[in-house]
Amino acid sequence: MPSPASAMAIWPQPDQGVLYAISNVKVELDDDENTVTTRLITYLGINPEHCAAIVCVRRAIDARKKSHIHFVCTYEVSLTCTLSHLPAQVREITHSSLEPECPDIFKSSGKTKTHVIVIGAGPAGLFAALSLAEAGVRVTLLERGKPVETRMRDIGRLRSRGELNPESNICFGEGGAGTYTDGKLYTRIKHPFLRHVLHSFVRFGAKPDILVDAHPHLGTDRLVRIVRNMRQHLLGLGVDYRFETRVDNLLVHENAVSGVRTAKGEEITADSVILATGHSARDTFERLHELGIKMEAKAFAVGVRAEHPQELINRNQYGRMAGHARLGAAEYKLTHQVPDPYLNKRGVYSFCMCPGGLIVPSPTETGGMAVNGMSNAKRAGAWANSGIVVQVTPDDILRHGIEDHPLMGISFQRQLETATFKAAGKRYAAPAMRLVDFIAKHPTGKLAPTRVKPEAVAADLWNIFPDWLGEPLSAGIKGFGQKMRGFISTEANLMASETRTSSPLRIERNEAMQSVNISGLYPVGEGAGYAGGIVSAAVDGLKAAAAILNTGSS
């Protein structure tokens, strides 16, 4: 099967011929490149000499029938002739989908006098800074955490010794939280900037496969190098790129932002400020609320991390084809609706599934514990893990006894994280319970084999979650067991608590991407409540950058 790596060497080439796309092509797991090429040429009814190139541009696994697992692909062909008629799956195209294309708004027209401060070096902040700097805007990028290389050492100490650095961890530091959650690039959003984001990742070192795979991912190990390459490029563009620089205040004059004040007392003025803090900058949200910036509580989700042997997931998903070299580690996505007296149906779903990965500690505050998942590019680990989370609404939190407040979701997260920390013996370890014991409400003190670091501590998770969360979580897991054979297994553990699925608040903004009551302030990404992953956050950062560039040119 033609590889996307070879595609990048072929496309784009000018004057190569007429381009066509062939969709819904079934490719068997053992088909080689020549077999597929011959089949497509026969389908088109052309002389092989008229085919200049054939490239796979879209690839998805179809595992609905385990007796016939195969790929469903889209190919692009370049012909030196014109097809007299188009078969059902063929359409003529003007350019390859693998061809990089920078939106016009981000093309440089020379240096400008505009100065923009970007707060946060996660995907939203990095892509906003990148597009602005390449367009000629002066950019100052402020990150409260450390460079990605140094940050890795702090995360290592947390995993090996249980030592938390509140300013450098899974959530805080260059690259954002997504750097240590597998680098998933799958998104449901549709936006013209989407392909630009993926091509930018390739430009900075990602494999071209991400342009082709239906569920692309980078892997934490590769994403670290990509983020480092982006930093070097930004520095080369003249970006003032600062680490360990926490913003403690905004400078506001007549309802317009004029800059920021850092924790060290330095004041930096600017024409605009892009707020891309990520979903865990609770102290920043508290200060913004004190300043009167309009925000509201929103729904989010909390729950546990489920850990299964990866081999078990492979067998369940791929049957006898499990272990095939072209399939790799299997993943899953599960949802279930649980009857609920308050919502009619309460959603329970898998979240951030990490094939062949690890469960990692993700606290940011002293005395609170949370977990997340990650995996490297090869996804070669012996365990699979996924968040199993339950929908939580602001009304739920009110009934829980927390005061009505834009930050009440943070208060609820903290309650769970404090209870989780206590259940782990007041350590940054993961309270754990066998999955079968949890749904039986019968703590045995026994765990299935696990490699969670720094430690998995046997605990009764029903003492952490209130019943209005624990009951739908248990019912959802039972529902997953009906949908995915083997999910309910004595080999599976549940780890508490998964609390950082998304921001529990939304900073209100208008159609110009600015705060509704502070002009010049652009709240973006996951932290502001407008994204749910690396790609959607990056796109949101680009949207803010485009709004600033449009304002400057008007």
Going along the chain from its start, the domains and CATH numbers come out as 4-93 (3.30.70.2700), 107-296+505-553 (3.50.50.60), 299-498 (no CATH)
3-state secondary structure 252-278: EECCEEEEEEECCCCEEECCEEEECCC
* Residue 8 reports pLDDT greater than 50: no
Give the pLDDT confidence score for residue 188 in this predicted structure: 85
Q: Which residues, 6+ apart, have CB-to-CB distance to 18 below 8 Å? A: 78, 79, 80, 81, 82, 83, 92
Distance separating alpha carbons of residues 41 and 35, to the nearest angstrom? 10
User: In the Cβ-directed half-sphere of 86, how many Cα atoms lie within 13 Å?
Assistant: 13
Helical H segments across 192-280, by residue range: 194-203, 220-236
In order of 7, 399, 400, the CA distances from 403 in angstroms are 56, 9, 9
Q: With the C-alpha atoms ordered 416, 452, 207, 40, is the resulting torsion angle positive or negative? A: negative
Q: Which of 187-191, 328-332, 452-456 has the lowest mean pLDDT?
A: 187-191
In order of 87, 150, 350, 471, the CA distances from 388 in angstroms are 44, 31, 5, 13
Question: Each residue of 281-301: b (16+ CB within 10 Å) or e?
Answer: bbbbbeebbeeebbbebbbbb
* Residue 554 reports pLDDT greater than 60: no
∠ CA 388-394-399, nearest 5°, is 95
Task: List the beta strands (DSSP E) in 7-50.
Answer: 18-28
Give the pLDDT confidence score for residue 15 in this predicted structure: 52
Length of the chain: 554
Give the pLDDT confidence score for residue 108 in this predicted structure: 82
Q: Which of 7-21, 31-45, 365-379, 524-538 has the lowest mean pLDDT?
A: 7-21
| pLDDT classification of 16: cutoffs 50, 70, 90 | low
Name the one residue in this structure whose structure tokens are 């599934």.
353
* Residue 11 reports pLDDT greater than 50: no
Q: With the C-alpha atoms ordered 351, 354, 355, 360, is the resulting torsion angle positive or negative? A: negative
Nearest to 54 by CA among 66, 71, 36, 72: 36
Distance separating alpha carbons of residues 237 and 111, to the nearest angstrom? 11
Q: pLDDT digit string (tens) for 49-71? A: 999 999 999 999 999 999 999 99
Task: Find the mean pLDDT for residues 528-540.
Answer: 95
Secondary structure (3-state) at 385: strand
User: In the Cβ-directed half-sphere of 179, how many Cα atoms lie within 13 Å?
Assistant: 29
Phi, psi of 345, rounded to the nearest 5 degrees: -130, 130
Nearest to 185 by CA among 226, 154, 246, 152: 226
Q: Which two tokens stand for residue 78?
A: 């370049």
* Residue 1 reports pLDDT greater than 60: no
Q: pLDDT digit string (tens) for 387-417? A: 999 999 999 999 999 999 999 999 999 999 9
Distance separating alpha carbons of residues 63 and 277, to the nearest angstrom? 38
User: What's 403's DSSP letter?
Assistant: P
Task: Find the mean pLDDT for residues 325-332.
Answer: 94
Task: Find the mean pLDDT for residues 430-447.
Answer: 98
Name the one residue in this structure whose structure tokens are 């997931």.
313
Distance separating alpha carbons of residues 514 and 415, to the nearest angstrom? 32
- Residue pair 21/78 in contact (Cβ under 8 Å)? The answer is no
Q: Which amino acid is at 160?
A: S
Which strand (E) or helix (H) includes residue 90? strand 90-93
* Residue 2 reports pLDDT greater than 60: no
Which strand (E) or helix (H) includes residue 247? strand 247-253
Give the pLDDT confidence score for residue 43 in this predicted structure: 95
Name the one residue in this structure whose structure tokens are 């359409």.
91
Distance separating alpha carbons of residues 350 and 386, to the nearest angstrom? 6
Q: pLDDT digit string (tens) for 117-133? A: 999 999 999 999 999 99
| pLDDT classification of 358: cutoffs 50, 70, 90 | very high
Please provide the average confidence, as pLDDT, over all residues in the chain: 93
Task: Find the mean pLDDT for residues 88-99.
Answer: 92
Give the pLDDT confidence score for residue 526 in this predicted structure: 95
* Residue 551 reports pLDDT greater than 90: no
Q: pLDDT digit string (tens) for 194-240? A: 999 999 999 999 999 999 999 998 988 899 999 999 999 999 999 99
Phi, psi of 303, rounded to the nearest 5 degrees: 170, -130
* Residue 328 reports pLDDT greater than 60: yes
To the question of pTM greater than 0.85 for the whole model, the response is: yes
Phi, psi of 233, rounded to the nearest 5 degrees: -65, -45
* Residue 418 reports pLDDT greater than 70: yes
| pLDDT classification of 189: cutoffs 50, 70, 90 | confident
